Structure 1
Amino acid sequence: MLDMNDSERGAHIRRLDRKHVFTSWAAQDVVEPMPIAGALGSEFWDYDGHTYLDFSSQLVNVNIGYQHPKLVAAIQEQAARLCSVGPNFANDARSEAAALIAAQAPGDLDRVFFTTGGAEANEHALRMARVHTGRHKVLSTYRSYHGSVGNSMVATGEPRRWAAETGVSGHVHFWGPYAYRSPFYSVDAAQECERALDHLANVLMVEGPNQVAAILLETVVGTNGILVPPDGYLAGVRALCDRYGIVLISDEVMAGFGRCGEWFAVDRWGVTPDLITFAKGVNSGYVPLGGVIISERIAASFSTKPYPGGLTYQGHPLACASAVASIKIFQEEKIVEHARWLGTDVIGPELAKIADRHPSVGEVRGLGVFWAVELVKDRATREPLVPFNATGADAKPMADFTAACKERGLWPFVHFNGTHVVPPCTITEIDLRRGLSILDDALTVADGYYTGAE
């Protein structure tokens, strides 16, 4: 280790990163990742002594907070006992993790196929659906994100998909409910639900429902705006799937494991999908882990014929040991209940007050510790603060707002014209209110770009 002070070490890490690391989703000559020195609870800090309250949970995955001592200890204990074993062997950590995950899943979802992340989970869920049904088409929504590889990338319904498209048939996008910017010109949530379901039924009609293997939905849309489905929508999709023998896949990679104040977001609406994909919050990313929870009906398709897929690091013991520890911590510390309370009693009410104070806030929406603040130039027309997929000068209002948050010690999650309120599910009420106060202050910057009548 080189002998240097903290600031020098941070600069050294930055130089090495820029010279040797190829960064995702970024133009390599302009990206400047911040070197992180450490983290604890809901905060992280750099090598220059700046501490940030994390309102992004990294990539909305550090649900249990940073450096939870019991979770760290579980990884250390497993590493001392057995670091790695192939998927062709049974392992106690993997078996217990699967049992604990299945115990929290709804209905008859009782088997777990492990992956190393959410994109792989969606990839394998789609493969299971296609093999199970013998069909090839997949329907997914615009304003969705399902991962950055293969079919999961093509199923994604936002601009990051564009460079990955091949023109091969089989993936069809449709409009999901989004009452604030209704593609159906609805006047309320009930009408949005009805018209969104009619739209999906019509898409199925023209695509041929007997050609459709799966409908893939984020239970609550995450990155693209935290779009909470209106009551009745998921049940309506479930009914359409049942009518036509289509597999319903709920992507809970971001929404699951406490994020929406439930173990799985589908629990809020009492809907049981055929497959649930998960990752992120299952162990807060302490070790890479994801997976698919499988219903008895889908699992039965592979009772006597092999499932055509697998991974070298499937159900890695370090990752599974961390999942076991995480689920037990969630139960012991009532983290799901805490997340639900934070949403109903703190975040929801406080964001409503913030919206009243700031004309640039068009809408706030969310559940648990999964909220979005949508920013606009004009409340009457609902013109976004920045255009869809804005870059360069067009993105300046959001860039200035983001900088204002960071200058005040808050690390935001910003996407398009929205900022998310997605701190760890374990955040204290004191820290949460402190972060909301910083957000309140930083929104004055967004207000400076407002052009409508107040």
Structure 2
Amino acid sequence: MSVQPTPDPVAGAAVKAADRAHVFHSWSAQGLIDPLAVAGADGAYFWDYDGNRYLDFSCQLVNTNIGHQHPKVVAAIQEQAGKLCTIAPGFAVDVRSEAARLIAERTPGDLDKIFFTNGGAEAVENAVRMARLHTGRPKVLSAYRSYHGATSTAINLTGDPRRWPSDSASAGVVHFWAPFLYRSPFHAENEAQECERALRHLEDTIAFEGPQTIAAIVLETIPGTAGIMVPPPGYLPGVREICDRYGIVFVLDEVMAGFGRTGRWFAAEHFDVVPDLLTFAKGVNSGYVPLGGVAISAEIAATFDQRPYPGGLTYSGHPLACASAVATINTMAEEGIVENAAAIGENVIGPGLREIAERHPSVGEVRGTGVFWALDLVKNKETREPLVPYNASGPANQPMADFAAACKRGGLWPFVNMNRTHVVPPCTVTETEAKEGLAVLDEALSAADAHTG
């Protein structure tokens, strides 16, 4: 890390006081949180006003794929701000066109038209709208173990408990079980069984819901927040075949998995599958300026050749966001950042996590690819009972709180969700940084081990 933090606790106290007085935080009971005041960031690290620095194994919200403050991306935003800060979506602008071209160049198949949004949830909202208008059907299917965003349709599609307070139960969404061998809902004994039974379950769900009523199936290519469960071979191609048979639009959500996270530009490449619509955000420009979008197949794009698409956003394809996307994508290509993510995952993180799992009774399973990994933490390896109950909070979540606190004391910022810790550093992470983080994880897992038995 080239930048060294200079402690300034007085400034930090002022930042914290203003935050507590005026900022309303996401997903939080406002009176129970104590947000860290961040002073700066560089590469794989960020730091607070007391001079404590943290290796960012969360990538914030798994989006700073190119690392913090990459000079080429910062310079591109500055240059674009000097040229043209903003312009309405209806105009043709060089940087917007170039961002769309670069994205379309990397998406699988014929997903060559790009609709820009401000983030992933809006991308999912618009993908579902396109599918419903294209098919004339109302229903959408999605998996229970999933997260698709917090806007109206996206939160109903979401499978995790964040859906519950906002679930209208009338949004035309039907949930089903996607494959997850470690906690198989199908009592499968191997990946082949899990794949076969999950596809049969999906077909049964479609049959009982009425194929003619279903507009789309929406799946995260590799589910992210829900646990980084890499689907078994054959599953996604099987879903593609089912969608083709029933005229259902296949939507892959690559908001978290896209742009190098899995060691490929898009996770769909691992499975040789092409969806009809692909949503993206996060890694497209590492979150430097809000940006997301939908990559659209030729067939669905043709639906709106003579028929207006009834959707749009004031900031769709914002020039500053698109400039940061152009710089991010070009830099990732020039510096071999996607290849680095693949190599670090295969040679450092994967083997390192498997070694750690052998030493710790709290680690039930290691799964992932690229710089996209999860440790499933358990009370007992034999029974696979999760270290904390599903959607635990308060005292019931103490084992995970103890583990997270141990990580932070060691200078590592973890991504913790339910009974899992995710290992999701930047795609630019070096071998030295990855090993540094794994060493802290190894030590911190002793706090989780204390709750096993």
TM-score (norm 2): 0.98
Aligned position for 1:195: 197
Q: How far apart are the structure 2 equivalents of 1:93 and 1:150? A: 30
Aligned position for 2:260: 258
SS, match of residue 35 in structure 2: coil
SS, match of residue 249 in structure 1: strand
Aligned position for 1:369: 371
Once the two structures are superposed, the pairs formed by residues 288-307 of structure 1 within 5 Å of their partners are: 288-307=290-309
Q: How far apart are the structure 1 equivalents of 2:307 and 2:386? A: 51
1:169 Cα deviation from its structure 2 partner: 4.8
1:421 Cα deviation from its structure 2 partner: 0.3
Aligned position for 1:242: 244
1:31 Cα deviation from its structure 2 partner: 1.1
| Counterpart residue identity of residue 117, structure 2 | T
Residues 391-431 of structure 1: CA deviation (Å, up to 9, x unaligned): 11100000000000000100000000000000000011001
Alignment CA distance shift 1:100-1:380 (3 Å)? same
Unaligned 5+ segments in structure 2 are 1-6
1:30 Cα deviation from its structure 2 partner: 1.1
* Residue 357 (structure 1) aligned with residue 364 (structure 2): no
Once the two structures are superposed, the pairs formed by residues 171-320 of structure 1 within 5 Å of their partners are: 171-320=173-322
2:156–2:171 contact (8 Å) kept in structure 1: no
| Counterpart residue identity of residue 416, structure 1 | M
1:165 Cα deviation from its structure 2 partner: 1.1
2:23 to 13, 21, 24: 21
1:168 Cα deviation from its structure 2 partner: 1.1
Aligned position for 1:94: 96
| Counterpart residue identity of residue 282, structure 2 | K
1:277 Cα deviation from its structure 2 partner: 0.1
1:233 Cα deviation from its structure 2 partner: 0.2
Q: How far apart are the structure 1 equivalents of 2:169 and 2:355? A: 47
Q: How far apart are the structure 2 equivalents of 1:379 and 1:327? A: 41
Q: How far apart are the structure 2 equivalents of 1:246 and 1:166? A: 23
2:417 to 405, 415, 418: 415
Structure 1 ranges of 4+ moved more than 6 A: none
Aligned position for 2:83: 81
2:243–2:250 contact (8 Å) kept in structure 1: yes
Q: How far apart are the structure 2 equivalents of 1:343 and 1:6? A: 36
1:162 Cα deviation from its structure 2 partner: 0.5
SS, match of residue 435 in structure 2: helix
Aligned length: 448
Give the CA RMSD over aligned residues. 0.9
1:167 Cα deviation from its structure 2 partner: 2.4
2:153–2:171 contact (8 Å) kept in structure 1: no
Residues 301-342 of structure 1: CA deviation (Å, up to 9, x unaligned): 000000000000000000000000100001100111110111
Q: How far apart are the structure 1 equivalents of 2:105 and 2:46? A: 33
Once the two structures are superposed, the pairs formed by residues 313-392 of structure 1 within 5 Å of their partners are: 313-392=315-394
Residues 119-148 of structure 1: CA deviation (Å, up to 9, x unaligned): 000000000000000000000000100000
SS, match of residue 67 in structure 1: coil
2:108 to 86, 106, 109: 106
Q: How far apart are the structure 2 equivalents of 1:360 and 1:21? A: 36
Q: How far apart are the structure 1 equivalents of 2:400 and 2:171? A: 36
1:225 Cα deviation from its structure 2 partner: 0.5
| Counterpart residue identity of residue 111, structure 1 | K
Q: How far apart are the structure 2 equivalents of 1:170 and 1:29? A: 35
| Counterpart residue identity of residue 196, structure 1 | A
Q: How far apart are the structure 1 equivalents of 2:291 and 2:257? A: 15
Aligned position for 2:4: none
1:398 to 392, 397, 400: 400
1:88 Cα deviation from its structure 2 partner: 1.1
Q: How far apart are the structure 2 equivalents of 1:195 and 1:254? A: 26
Q: How far apart are the structure 1 equivalents of 2:111 and 2:225? A: 26
Residues 258-289 of structure 1: CA deviation (Å, up to 9, x unaligned): 00001000011110000000000000000000
Q: How far apart are the structure 2 equivalents of 1:91 and 1:192? A: 48
Q: Percent identity?
A: 64
Q: How far apart are the structure 1 equivalents of 2:327 and 2:404? A: 35
Aligned position for 1:435: 437
Aligned position for 1:63: 65
